[in-house]
Amino acid sequence: MRAPELRARVVHANQELVRHGLVHLTWGNVSECDREEGIIAIKPSGVSYAELTAESIVIIDWDGKTVDGDLKPSSDLATHLEIFRNFDGVGGVTHTHSTAATAFSQAGKPLPCFGTTHADHFFGEVPLVRELNEEEVAEAYEENTGKAIVEHFQNAGLDPLAVPACLQKFHAPFIWGASAMDSVKNAVALEMCCDMALKTLSLNPDAQALPSHILRKHYLRKHGPGAYYGQG
């Protein structure tokens, strides 16, 4: 089992949330899965980031059962599991209550793509996922949160790798990526884009969305088959 390396990556990714100012108190968590091993490493519930160690990271199997670790996993585990099970290619999930992204969630607004900074990371609007109904909250809240996310992407025909984030109505953002650290980087990008969008709307409530030809250019030059951004 490759759990030691997985734990080390996940504790580092969780601590990066603090460094980037994406979390306060214990409001967030990061996980990473090893699909070959069939395991997931995730932050323990309610443990402060300053107290996290690799040994405190909980190892879960694909059925959500703890296979290694003395602490309870994050209460958001079931949401992470739904994302891993349904979005091929996702290796890490981040959940935060970062200020600007959560403001969009609480306002019930998707995040429009207003400019090229957004287009460099997300191929268009970051969607708003519906709120859960009373029965969904009462019976399996975290699992149904994940199901609502998956449902939205499937119904809207969205590629979760091209738009690796969503805003859960009345809740907060969920973000994912190829690894735990990749999901954290996407969470940083989402928060910055939300902050810029709020400032854009304060200056111009009728701000225009980025034209599609510019959106395609900026996204594909970094993520498309002929990508040429960077040194790779």
- One of 70, 141, 219, 229 is an active-site residue; which one? 229
Beta bridge partners of 32: 41, 92
Establish whether 120 is a catalytic residue: yes
Which residue, among 172, 207, 202, has the nearest Cα to 190 in the 3D structure?
172
Report the C-alpha gap between 53 and 56 in whole angstroms.
5
- Is 229 labeled as catalytic in the residue annotation? yes
DSSP labels, 169-204: TTS-EEEEESSHHHHHHHHHHHHHHHHHHHHHHHH-
The answer to whether 173 touches 165, Cβ cutoff 8 Å, is yes
Catalytically annotated residue among 120, 159, 219, 228: 120
Instruction: Name every residue whose Cβ is closer than 8 Å to that of residue 158 and which is 6 or more positions away in sequence.
Output: 127, 152
Nearest to 82, CA basis, from 3, 20, 152, 13? 152
Residue pair 60/33 in contact (Cβ under 8 Å)? The answer is no
What gap in Å lies between CA 173 and CA 189, rounded to an integer? 12
Three-class SS state of 203: helix
The catalytic residues are 120, 229
